Amino acid sequence: MADIYADVIIVGGGPTGLTTANYLGMQGVKTILVERNSGTVQEPRAVSIDDETMRGLQTIGLVERLIPNTLPGYGARYYSPNQKEFARIKPTTREFGHPRRSAFHQPELEALLYEGLKRFPSVEVMYETSFESFEQDSDGVTVKVRDKGKTEKLLRGVYLAACDGGRSSIRHSIGAVLMGSSFEERWLVFDTVNDIDCTPDSVAYCDHRRPAITLPGPGNTRRWEFLVKKNEDAEKFLEEDKINDLLRPYIGDKSVEIVRKVIYTFHARVADKWREGRIFLIGDAAHLTPPYAGQGMNSGQRDAANFSWKAAAVIQKRLTEKIMETYESERQHHAWSLIQMAIQIGWAMVPRNWFHTYGQITFFRIAGLIPKLRDYFLGMKFKPIPRFQEGFLLPDGRSPKNTLVGRMLPQPTVRTMDGVEQKLDDVMGTGFVLLAIGGNAADTLRGLRTEIWQNLAATRVAISLDGNPSKTVDSNPVTLDPEKISPRFLEYDGWTLLVRPDRYVAAAFTPGNVAKIETALQKWIPD
């Protein structure tokens, strides 16, 4: 007999585990989070948060509390060996409703996520409790833990979410292997407070003699990273005199206060499997990303969003167990594409020799003269588009380039009937959404009466494209500014989108083929 019963047991209380618990708590899923440490982290770790993660925090109702503690929309600058800027990236688009990337402090995020859990009576957090082992069967999973008093407890749940980091013991237990390679480069990484460098962007000093990277943070904080060469003693780089020598070319003899320093070896790996029965690998347990693109923690946030709504849908009997098979198929490819992007950015930031250094300087200068190429880099369009090729999706017959199915839905600002402007997600809510666009949108929603839509408990939103939302009893009517409408929405004028809780579009249909969509969805609905 177990001592405590839950629906989902989470091992690991970092950003990924805490966010997973918030998603599940928001949906009323009984959840236990186990963490061996006594609380959230107090030292800087991840420092970059992207638009998709901010959108996720918006979903769980915490983003407005984090925004004041971020440095929003920072870009990147590339400097030559003589410290002359030769390239700059400064994205300004907010396709998903938030800046492409912002600087933040991980301790503040973790504390906010932990406070967020106190809203949910269905979530229990067990700090100073170590994971010991697990056993699973056809009905659930039993997890053995040990508290700070060395007392063993048995937890019983439907699923086990392994958020236990890059050295995951659970990954090892299910026989999953990290595929890929470790970078040969070691890096000294340290964080400073009261830093005199107020550059509101990251800076890559592309010098083959000693590449260096520095990233901004809120409140005059900064992260510095310096390459440690193969023949150098890494431990000496942790000494104060050595750090001062490294900083001198950039800040002179001005002193800074260092709050954390460590030697890292960067990894680019992804697990060969992310699931074994009722056990799921999430975050760093499933993939390790080089920090050049700032996507390590953010990829874990995407995992949390994907896993959580599916687990909740099964537990609440809205969808069949089959939906859990789509977690790995949807997330693994996208996680690896971001790892590849980070490697490519690292190639630009870390030149290997004189020819590499000046070759890339020449390339960026030429790119700056070609508008399309310049805009490609300036707007960070090289970031892989969040798009699924398979999973809980029903293709709409359009080409991969033009379809919204499998993509994250853009999030514009909309205007409600009473004239209030809101982000679209705040109107759509936190679950499934039937989003009817233009045309006779409200009429389309009124016609969706089968048990499938009731089972999904989908919120109904009708978007007017002419600036005049019409009041109906069946939907939340909103309008888009006709002068600012995304082409994505115009292309679906007269269509209805089925939007998943993680904001990806699962299906798109017209009144003429809704029956076909309902038939295709039937296989995911419990009998």
Q: Each residue of 193-226: pLDDT tens digit?
A: 988 788 899 998 999 899 999 999 998 899 999 9
The residues with which 216 forms a beta bridge, in sequence order, are: 222
Query: Taking a C-beta distance cutoff of 8 angstroms, is the pair 161, 13 a contact?
Result: no
Query: Taking a C-beta distance cutoff of 8 angstroms, is the pair 120, 25 a contact?
Result: yes
State mean pLDDT over 103-107. 95
pLDDT recorded at residue 265: 83
pLDDT recorded at residue 443: 80
Q: For residue 455, give the amino acid letter.
A: N
Tokens of 209: 């003699």
pLDDT-above-70 percentage for the chain = 95
Each residue's pLDDT tens digit, 481-525 = 777 788 889 999 999 999 999 999 999 999 889 999 999 999 999
The Cα 281–Cα 168 span in angstroms is 9
The Cα 123–Cα 141 span in angstroms is 18
Q: Residue 185 — pLDDT band, cuts 50, 70, 90?
A: confident
DSSP β-ladder status, 178-193 and 257-271:
antiparallel
The Cα 526–Cα 452 span in angstroms is 10
pLDDT recorded at residue 328: 96
The Cα 79–Cα 207 span in angstroms is 8
Tokens of 165: 């980091």
Each residue's pLDDT tens digit, 230-274 = 899 999 999 999 999 999 999 988 888 999 999 988 888 999 999
Alpha-carbon distances, residue 56 vs 53, 168, 178 (angstroms): 5, 24, 27
Looking only at Cα atoms, what is the longest distance across the chain? 73
The Cα 367–Cα 348 span in angstroms is 14
Query: Taking a C-beta distance cutoff of 8 angstroms, is the pair 414, 465 a contact?
Result: no
The Cα 350–Cα 288 span in angstroms is 19
The Cα 224–Cα 138 span in angstroms is 49
Quick count: other Cβ atoms within 10 Å of Cβ 356? 15
pTM value is 0.94
Asked if residue 116 has pLDDT above 80, the reply is yes
Query: Taking a C-beta distance cutoff of 8 angstroms, is the pair 438, 464 a contact?
Result: yes
The Cα 525–Cα 527 span in angstroms is 7
Query: Taking a C-beta distance cutoff of 8 angstroms, is the pair 259, 43 a contact?
Result: yes
State mean pLDDT over 365-388. 69
The Cα 80–Cα 363 span in angstroms is 13
Q: Which residue has the higher pLDDT, 466 or 375?
A: 466
pLDDT recorded at residue 380: 57
State mean pLDDT over 109-117. 98
Q: Which residue has the higher pLDDT, 462 or 338?
A: 462
Question: Torsions phi, psi of 104, nearest 5?
Answer: -155, 175
The Cα 297–Cα 49 span in angstroms is 8
State mean pLDDT over 415-422. 88
State mean pLDDT over 305-323. 98
**Among the ranges given (166-175, 201-210, 409-418, 478-487), the one the predictor scored with the smallest mean pLDDT:** 478-487
Q: Residue 283 — pLDDT band, cuts 50, 70, 90?
A: very high
The residues with which 469 forms a beta bridge, in sequence order, are: none
Tokens of 518: 């309902």
**Among the ranges given (178-182, 274-278, 381-385), the one the predictor scored with the smallest mean pLDDT:** 381-385
pLDDT recorded at residue 264: 86
pLDDT recorded at residue 276: 98
Q: Residue 374 — pLDDT band, cuts 50, 70, 90?
A: low
pLDDT recorded at residue 268: 85
Q: For residue 524, give the amino acid letter.
A: W
The residues with which 103 forms a beta bridge, in sequence order, are: 48, 71
List of E strands, 390-447: 413-416, 421-423, 433-437
Please state the length of the chain.
527
Each residue's pLDDT tens digit, 58-86 = 999 999 999 999 999 998 898 999 999 98
Asked if residue 473 has pLDDT above 60, the reply is no
Asked if residue 467 has pLDDT above 80, the reply is no
All structural domains of the chain, each given as residue ranges with its CATH number in brackets, are 4-70+95-178+268-341 (3.50.50.60), 413-524 (3.40.30.120)
Asked if residue 292 has pLDDT above 80, the reply is no
In the block, residue with structure tokens 């070319």: 249
Long-range contacts of 76-79 (CB under 8 A, 24+ apart): 76/201, 76/202, 76/203, 76/204, 77/199, 77/201, 77/202, 77/203, 77/204, 78/203, 78/204, 78/206, 78/348, 78/349, 78/364, 79/203, 79/204, 79/205, 79/206
pLDDT recorded at residue 355: 77
The Cα 497–Cα 517 span in angstroms is 11
Query: Taking a C-beta distance cutoff of 8 angstroms, is the pair 267, 166 a contact?
Result: yes
The Cα 34–Cα 163 span in angstroms is 10
pLDDT-above-90 percentage for the chain = 67
The Cα 37–Cα 43 span in angstroms is 13
DSSP β-ladder status, 75-79 and 201-205:
parallel
Residue among 18, 231, 206 nearest 108 (CA): 18
In the block, residue with structure tokens 């759509």: 428
Asked if residue 383 has pLDDT above 90, the reply is no
Between vectors from CA 330 to CA 67 and to CA 298, what angle results, nearest 5°? 25
Cβ burial 376-398 (10 Å sphere, 16+ → b, else e): ebbebeebbebbbeebbbbebee
pLDDT recorded at residue 183: 59
State mean pLDDT over 118-126. 98
Q: Residue 360 — pLDDT band, cuts 50, 70, 90?
A: confident
**Among the ranges given (43-57, 236-250, 332-346, 495-509), the one the predictor scored with the smallest mean pLDDT:** 332-346
Quick count: other Cβ atoms within 10 Å of Cβ 120? 19
Between vectors from CA 41 to CA 35 and to CA 43, what angle results, nearest 5°? 155
Tokens of 356: 């590499």
Tokens of 83: 């410290």
Asked if residue 107 has pLDDT above 90, the reply is yes
Mean predicted lDDT score pLDDT of the chain: 90
Tokens of 232: 């150098």
